[in-house]
Amino acid sequence: MRVVCSIAGSDSSAGAGIQADLKSITANGAYAATVITAVTAQNTLGVQGAWPLPLESVAEQIASVFDDLDIAGVKTGMLGGSDMIELVARELEHRRPPFVVVDPVMISKTGFALLAEDAASTLRDRLLPLATLVTPNVHEAEALTELSIKTVDDAQQAGELLVEAGASAALVKGGHLEGAPATDVLVTRDSIEIFEGEWIDQRHTHGTGCTYASAIAARLALGEELTTAVARAKDYVTEAIRGGIEIGGGVGPTDHFWMTRDD
Protein backbone atom coordinates (compact mmCIF):
# COMPACT_ATOMS: atom_id res chain seq x y z
CA MET A 1 0.00 0.00 0.00
CA ARG A 2 1.47 3.33 -1.09
CA VAL A 3 1.13 6.15 1.44
CA VAL A 4 0.43 9.78 0.50
CA CYS A 5 0.67 12.40 3.24
CA SER A 6 -1.68 15.36 2.95
CA ILE A 7 -0.55 18.54 4.72
CA ALA A 8 -3.60 20.78 4.79
CA GLY A 9 -6.43 22.37 6.76
CA SER A 10 -9.53 20.66 8.13
CA ASP A 11 -13.00 21.30 6.67
CA SER A 12 -15.69 20.58 9.27
CA SER A 13 -18.24 19.88 6.51
CA ALA A 14 -15.81 17.34 4.99
CA GLY A 15 -16.20 18.54 1.40
CA ALA A 16 -12.73 20.02 1.00
CA GLY A 17 -9.41 20.13 2.85
CA ILE A 18 -8.00 17.16 4.72
CA GLN A 19 -11.30 15.32 4.60
CA ALA A 20 -11.56 15.58 0.81
CA ASP A 21 -7.92 14.53 0.52
CA LEU A 22 -8.54 11.43 2.64
CA LYS A 23 -11.46 10.38 0.46
CA SER A 24 -9.84 11.19 -2.89
CA ILE A 25 -6.54 9.46 -2.11
CA THR A 26 -8.40 6.39 -0.86
CA ALA A 27 -10.73 6.28 -3.86
CA ASN A 28 -7.72 6.41 -6.17
CA GLY A 29 -6.00 3.44 -4.60
CA ALA A 30 -3.48 4.81 -2.10
CA TYR A 31 -3.43 5.21 1.69
CA ALA A 32 -3.81 8.71 3.13
CA ALA A 33 -1.88 10.00 6.12
CA THR A 34 -2.55 13.53 7.33
CA VAL A 35 -0.91 16.56 8.89
CA ILE A 36 -3.46 19.21 9.89
CA THR A 37 -2.30 22.82 9.57
CA ALA A 38 -5.52 24.62 10.50
CA VAL A 39 -9.06 24.06 11.71
CA THR A 40 -11.97 25.76 9.98
CA ALA A 41 -15.62 26.21 10.91
CA GLN A 42 -17.15 25.51 7.52
CA ASN A 43 -20.31 24.23 5.88
CA THR A 44 -22.00 24.34 2.47
CA LEU A 45 -22.82 28.03 3.00
CA GLY A 46 -19.23 29.15 3.49
CA VAL A 47 -16.34 29.42 5.91
CA GLN A 48 -17.30 30.96 9.24
CA GLY A 49 -13.82 30.94 10.77
CA ALA A 50 -10.28 29.57 10.45
CA TRP A 51 -7.58 29.02 13.07
CA PRO A 52 -4.02 27.90 12.32
CA LEU A 53 -2.53 25.22 14.53
CA PRO A 54 0.69 26.00 16.43
CA LEU A 55 3.80 25.47 14.31
CA GLU A 56 5.16 23.06 16.90
CA SER A 57 2.13 20.81 16.57
CA VAL A 58 2.47 20.72 12.78
CA ALA A 59 6.17 19.88 13.03
CA GLU A 60 5.39 17.08 15.48
CA GLN A 61 2.70 15.68 13.19
CA ILE A 62 5.14 15.63 10.29
CA ALA A 63 7.75 13.90 12.42
CA SER A 64 5.25 11.30 13.64
CA VAL A 65 4.11 10.43 10.13
CA PHE A 66 7.52 10.41 8.42
CA ASP A 67 9.38 8.65 11.23
CA ASP A 68 7.03 5.67 11.10
CA LEU A 69 5.44 5.43 7.65
CA ASP A 70 7.08 4.95 4.27
CA ILE A 71 5.79 8.10 2.56
CA ALA A 72 5.48 7.73 -1.22
CA GLY A 73 4.63 11.40 -1.72
CA VAL A 74 3.13 14.56 -0.27
CA LYS A 75 0.20 16.76 -1.23
CA THR A 76 -0.09 20.22 0.35
CA GLY A 77 -3.24 22.30 0.67
CA MET A 78 -4.24 25.14 2.99
CA LEU A 79 -1.15 26.47 4.76
CA GLY A 80 -2.52 29.84 5.85
CA GLY A 81 0.51 32.06 6.25
CA SER A 82 4.22 32.59 5.63
CA ASP A 83 5.39 31.01 8.90
CA MET A 84 3.52 27.80 8.14
CA ILE A 85 4.80 27.73 4.56
CA GLU A 86 8.37 28.19 5.81
CA LEU A 87 7.96 25.35 8.29
CA VAL A 88 6.50 22.96 5.71
CA ALA A 89 9.19 23.90 3.17
CA ARG A 90 11.97 23.22 5.69
CA GLU A 91 10.45 19.87 6.61
CA LEU A 92 10.09 18.85 2.97
CA GLU A 93 13.69 19.84 2.29
CA HIS A 94 14.74 17.69 5.24
CA ARG A 95 12.44 14.71 4.57
CA ARG A 96 12.80 14.69 0.76
CA PRO A 97 9.64 12.78 -0.22
CA PRO A 98 9.69 11.25 -3.72
CA PHE A 99 7.23 13.85 -5.00
CA VAL A 100 5.29 16.90 -3.80
CA VAL A 101 1.98 18.07 -5.28
CA VAL A 102 1.31 21.67 -4.22
CA ASP A 103 -2.31 22.83 -4.30
CA PRO A 104 -1.85 26.58 -3.60
CA VAL A 105 -5.08 27.09 -1.67
CA MET A 106 -5.77 30.82 -1.32
CA ILE A 107 -9.50 31.44 -1.09
CA SER A 108 -12.63 29.37 -0.48
CA LYS A 109 -15.33 28.96 -3.12
CA THR A 110 -17.45 31.45 -1.15
CA GLY A 111 -14.68 34.05 -0.93
CA PHE A 112 -13.12 33.44 2.51
CA ALA A 113 -9.35 34.07 2.50
CA LEU A 114 -7.40 30.90 3.35
CA LEU A 115 -3.95 32.36 2.66
CA ALA A 116 -2.62 35.61 4.10
CA GLU A 117 -2.20 38.36 1.49
CA ASP A 118 1.55 38.59 2.10
CA ALA A 119 2.09 34.83 1.87
CA ALA A 120 1.68 34.27 -1.89
CA SER A 121 5.26 35.37 -2.51
CA THR A 122 6.49 33.02 0.23
CA LEU A 123 4.58 30.15 -1.36
CA ARG A 124 6.07 31.01 -4.74
CA ASP A 125 9.63 31.37 -3.45
CA ARG A 126 9.73 28.49 -0.96
CA LEU A 127 7.29 25.80 -2.13
CA LEU A 128 7.39 26.02 -5.91
CA PRO A 129 11.06 24.95 -6.08
CA LEU A 130 10.06 21.81 -4.14
CA ALA A 131 6.98 21.04 -6.23
CA THR A 132 6.84 18.10 -8.59
CA LEU A 133 3.53 19.64 -9.65
CA VAL A 134 1.65 22.80 -8.68
CA THR A 135 -2.11 22.84 -9.39
CA PRO A 136 -3.49 26.41 -9.30
CA ASN A 137 -6.88 27.45 -10.55
CA VAL A 138 -7.02 30.60 -12.65
CA HIS A 139 -7.27 32.99 -9.69
CA GLU A 140 -4.39 31.32 -7.86
CA ALA A 141 -2.26 31.31 -11.00
CA GLU A 142 -2.95 35.02 -11.43
CA ALA A 143 -1.83 35.70 -7.85
CA LEU A 144 1.36 33.67 -8.30
CA THR A 145 2.31 35.09 -11.71
CA GLU A 146 0.67 38.56 -11.74
CA LEU A 147 -0.81 37.74 -15.16
CA SER A 148 -4.38 38.25 -16.28
CA ILE A 149 -5.56 34.80 -17.34
CA LYS A 150 -8.61 34.51 -19.57
CA THR A 151 -7.69 32.09 -22.36
CA VAL A 152 -5.93 28.77 -22.82
CA ASP A 153 -2.90 30.65 -24.19
CA ASP A 154 -2.85 32.79 -21.03
CA ALA A 155 -2.98 29.64 -18.90
CA GLN A 156 -0.07 28.20 -20.85
CA GLN A 157 1.97 31.36 -20.28
CA ALA A 158 1.18 31.24 -16.55
CA GLY A 159 2.25 27.60 -16.41
CA GLU A 160 5.53 28.47 -18.07
CA LEU A 161 6.18 31.21 -15.49
CA LEU A 162 5.42 28.80 -12.63
CA VAL A 163 7.93 26.33 -14.04
CA GLU A 164 10.46 29.14 -14.43
CA ALA A 165 9.84 29.92 -10.73
CA GLY A 166 11.01 26.42 -9.82
CA ALA A 167 8.14 23.95 -10.13
CA SER A 168 8.93 20.85 -12.18
CA ALA A 169 5.44 21.07 -13.69
CA ALA A 170 2.34 23.26 -13.45
CA LEU A 171 -1.27 22.29 -14.08
CA VAL A 172 -3.34 25.45 -14.59
CA LYS A 173 -6.96 24.42 -14.15
CA GLY A 174 -9.45 25.98 -16.53
CA GLY A 175 -12.61 26.19 -14.48
CA HIS A 176 -12.70 29.97 -14.95
CA LEU A 177 -11.31 30.26 -18.48
CA GLU A 178 -13.40 32.09 -21.05
CA GLY A 179 -14.72 29.70 -23.69
CA ALA A 180 -12.88 26.66 -22.33
CA PRO A 181 -13.97 26.17 -18.72
CA ALA A 182 -13.21 22.43 -18.64
CA THR A 183 -9.75 22.70 -20.23
CA ASP A 184 -6.61 22.30 -18.12
CA VAL A 185 -3.07 23.09 -19.25
CA LEU A 186 -0.09 21.02 -18.08
CA VAL A 187 3.30 22.67 -18.55
CA THR A 188 6.56 20.87 -17.82
CA ARG A 189 10.13 21.91 -18.52
CA ASP A 190 9.99 20.30 -21.96
CA SER A 191 6.35 19.90 -22.94
CA ILE A 192 2.86 21.42 -22.96
CA GLU A 193 -0.28 19.29 -22.89
CA ILE A 194 -3.90 20.36 -23.12
CA PHE A 195 -6.52 18.33 -21.28
CA GLU A 196 -9.96 19.07 -22.62
CA GLY A 197 -12.90 17.92 -20.57
CA GLU A 198 -16.63 17.94 -20.23
CA TRP A 199 -18.19 21.04 -18.67
CA ILE A 200 -20.88 19.89 -16.24
CA ASP A 201 -23.55 22.37 -15.18
CA GLN A 202 -23.41 21.38 -11.52
CA ARG A 203 -23.87 23.54 -8.46
CA HIS A 204 -22.34 21.14 -5.96
CA THR A 205 -18.61 21.47 -6.58
CA HIS A 206 -17.20 22.14 -3.11
CA GLY A 207 -13.67 20.75 -2.80
CA THR A 208 -12.94 20.07 -6.46
CA GLY A 209 -9.41 21.51 -6.26
CA CYS A 210 -8.44 19.43 -3.24
CA THR A 211 -10.03 16.36 -4.79
CA TYR A 212 -8.24 16.77 -8.13
CA ALA A 213 -4.79 17.38 -6.64
CA SER A 214 -5.15 14.48 -4.21
CA ALA A 215 -6.22 12.11 -6.98
CA ILE A 216 -3.11 13.08 -8.95
CA ALA A 217 -0.95 12.52 -5.86
CA ALA A 218 -2.43 9.05 -5.28
CA ARG A 219 -1.81 8.05 -8.89
CA LEU A 220 1.77 9.34 -8.81
CA ALA A 221 2.28 7.27 -5.66
CA LEU A 222 1.07 4.21 -7.57
CA GLY A 223 3.80 4.79 -10.13
CA GLU A 224 1.88 6.43 -12.97
CA GLU A 225 3.64 8.94 -15.20
CA LEU A 226 2.58 12.55 -14.66
CA THR A 227 0.53 12.85 -17.86
CA THR A 228 -1.33 9.62 -17.16
CA ALA A 229 -1.91 10.58 -13.53
CA VAL A 230 -3.38 13.94 -14.54
CA ALA A 231 -5.59 12.42 -17.24
CA ARG A 232 -7.00 9.73 -14.96
CA ALA A 233 -7.43 12.13 -12.07
CA LYS A 234 -9.31 14.50 -14.37
CA ASP A 235 -11.64 11.68 -15.40
CA TYR A 236 -12.17 10.84 -11.72
CA VAL A 237 -12.95 14.39 -10.61
CA THR A 238 -15.25 14.93 -13.61
CA GLU A 239 -17.43 12.06 -12.44
CA ALA A 240 -17.18 13.25 -8.84
CA ILE A 241 -18.56 16.61 -9.98
CA ARG A 242 -21.28 14.92 -12.00
CA GLY A 243 -22.38 13.14 -8.83
CA GLY A 244 -22.28 16.29 -6.68
CA ILE A 245 -24.04 15.70 -3.37
CA GLU A 246 -26.97 17.92 -2.41
CA ILE A 247 -26.61 18.40 1.32
CA GLY A 248 -27.08 21.57 3.34
CA GLY A 249 -28.37 24.86 2.03
CA GLY A 250 -25.45 25.92 -0.13
CA VAL A 251 -22.77 24.41 -2.35
CA GLY A 252 -22.51 20.70 -1.64
CA PRO A 253 -19.42 18.53 -2.11
CA THR A 254 -18.39 16.35 -5.00
CA ASP A 255 -19.02 12.62 -4.67
CA HIS A 256 -15.62 11.07 -4.00
CA PHE A 257 -17.03 7.55 -4.12
CA TRP A 258 -19.25 7.91 -7.19
CA MET A 259 -17.99 4.58 -8.49
CA THR A 260 -19.75 2.76 -5.65
CA ARG A 261 -23.24 4.07 -6.52
CA ASP A 262 -25.65 1.80 -8.33
CA ASP A 263 -26.58 4.57 -10.77
| Crossing angle for the helix pair 208-221 and 226-242, to the nearest 10 degrees | 140
Structural domain total, the chain: 1
* CA atoms of 263 and 261, how far apart (whole Å): 5
- For 63-110, what is each residue's pLDDT tens digit? 999 999 999 999 999 999 999 999 999 999 999 999 999 999 888 776
Write out the residue range of the structural domain in which residue 190 sits. 3-260
Determine the pLDDT at residue 169: 98
- pLDDT tens column, 165-192: 999 999 999 877 777 778 999 999 999 9
Hey, which residues are catalytic here?
A: 173, 205, 207-210
Residue 208 banded pLDDT, cuts 50, 70, 90: very high
pLDDT of amino acid 106: 86
Q: Tell me which residue of 251, 228, 256 sits closest to 241, measured CA to CA.
A: 256
DSSP letter for 105, please.
Answer: -
Greater confidence, 227 or 197? Answer: 227
Which CATH number covers residue 55?
3.40.1190.20
Q: How far apart are the first and last CA of the chain?
A: 29
